[in-house]
Amino acid sequence: MKNIWYLFYNGIVIPIAKLFLFTAKFFNKKIRIGINGRKKLFENLIIDLTGIDRRKKMIWFHSSSMGEFEQAKPIIEKLRAEKNINVIVTFFSPSGYNNSLKYPLADIIAYFPFDTPIMTSRFLNLVRPNLAVFMRYDIWPNMIWQLQKKKIPCFIVDATMRSKTPRKWIVSKSFHKALYSYVTRILAVSKSDEDNFKEFNINDDKIKSVGDTRFDRVYQKSLQAKEKKLFKDGFFKGKKVFVMGSSWESDEDVMIPALVKLMEVDPKIITIIVPHEPTELHVESEEHNFTGKFDTIRFSYLNNYKNERVIIIDSIGILLTLYTYADAAYVGGSFKQGIHNVLEPAVYGIPILFGPKHENSQEAIKLAEIGGGIVVRNKKEAYKNLRKIFTDEKLRLSLGKLCGDYVRKNIGATSKILDEFSHFI
């Protein structure tokens, strides 16, 4: 069966992919950067590997991009604390690669090679990993086949499999059945994901649900965030703080009218708006939304603060810390294409509002089921729920506790994953 899929993949899929990349690089900057970045992949690897102590085992972590790498970080950090090893980290996307070049716990950071038999074999011959770890879903057929050929164990970690996925379509399902049979272990994030993987005829001893390292990561980051001081002590004393995180215009069209109405009846409320893309144009648009209603101030001008009730964040990388000040939060993307990270506010034990497009997040679905997450579909529902939360302190705290407890109950996947690794390193 492998020979059939090997011929299909390398005889049809790879040539089409090469043609696509050759054409797309002229129109897509990200693809062009990725192609150019790989031109010296092996030359750079040879140089980087000269300083590696080969007496230590080499553990290889691969992530598609930054989001998946965040899930790998708790594993890498705990692994390095417990074992004397080398770590190489690879990325498929330029954004993941470029934003992680200074990650201190990786000995080598590189691009994932193009998935051809020659490229993947050369990569493995150079790196010689003792264990390969693929985060979540970004696995590549030729690399999997080469790992199996060279008898290198490989894991898929934080693995997810939805009940309705293109991987279950007839031809795709047959292909993935063959591919997964060459993976050493699949560590799924939940029992439902484990059950969905089993539809690919995976042996019970090869798959196990151990949880999601995103809970561990967000908990770690929350402890660090609490130590940061974005505002002076007492800045929000006597106030009720609402944070609208990672918002798009479609989120703001629903939430801002509801917030304005709420702020008119409750003078204690302060709103912090964190645009998903804090460009000058977007920040100006936010300011315009409140013109004639409430004064606004940009975060970068906070030294000139004069009791403005709307603070607009015009920088990046501080959202998790901002949630530490919130009494309640809204997570954006849920009126556009898919919700952003709901665990970041949930870890602080506050109620979370979000829109109807949240099916991409199992965590959002679960929070809505247990009641800590509140789905709003229009301005009327947004105002109604905001009013309830900010007028009923007991309700707000109880909903927040549901969110906080949900995160705490799911911490611990990292240790379980390392237990599974222990048989191979």
Closest CA to 264 of 294, 231, 226: 294
Residues 157 and 179 in one domain: yes
Residues 371 and 252 in one domain: yes
pLDDT, tens digit (0-9, with 9 covering 90-100), for 158-167: 999 988 888 9
As a whole number of angstroms, the distance between CA 64 and CA 261 comes to 42
Predicted local distance difference test score (pLDDT) of residue 94:
94
Residues 244 and 205 in one domain: no
As a whole number of angstroms, the distance between CA 278 and CA 255 comes to 17
Closest CA to 58 of 6, 106, 26: 106
Residues 137 and 248 in one domain: no
CATH number, residue 272? 3.40.50.2000
Contact 19, 89 (CB under 8 A): no
> pLDDT under 70 in the chain at which residues?
1-2
Predicted local distance difference test score (pLDDT) of residue 227:
86
Closest CA to 345 of 180, 192, 196, 219: 219
What is the 3-state secondary structure of 131-175?
Answer: EEEEECCCCCHHHHHHHHHCCCCEEEEEECCCCCCHHHCHHHHHH
Predicted local distance difference test score (pLDDT) of residue 1:
52
Output the furthest CA–CA distance in the chain (Å, rounded): 71
Predicted local distance difference test score (pLDDT) of residue 53:
95
As a whole number of angstroms, the distance between CA 349 and CA 376 comes to 19
Residues 28 and 148 in one domain: yes
As a whole number of angstroms, the distance between CA 285 and CA 44 comes to 44
Q: Which residue has the tokens 């043609």?
A: 19
As a whole number of angstroms, the distance between CA 265 and CA 143 comes to 60
Contact 251, 336 (CB under 8 A): yes
Residues 261 and 238 in one domain: yes
Residues 137 and 113 in one domain: yes
Predicted local distance difference test score (pLDDT) of residue 393:
97
Predicted local distance difference test score (pLDDT) of residue 171:
86
CATH number, residue 207? 3.40.50.11720
- The burial class, CB within 10 Å (0-12 / 13-18 / 19+), for 191 is exposed
**Domain interval for residue 384:** 228-409
Residues 299 and 283 in one domain: yes
Predicted local distance difference test score (pLDDT) of residue 2:
65
Residue 218 included in any domain: no
Residue 368 included in any domain: yes
Q: Count of domains in the chain? A: 2
Ranges of beta strands (E only) in 5-130 are 57-63, 85-91, 108-111
Contact 377, 251 (CB under 8 A): no
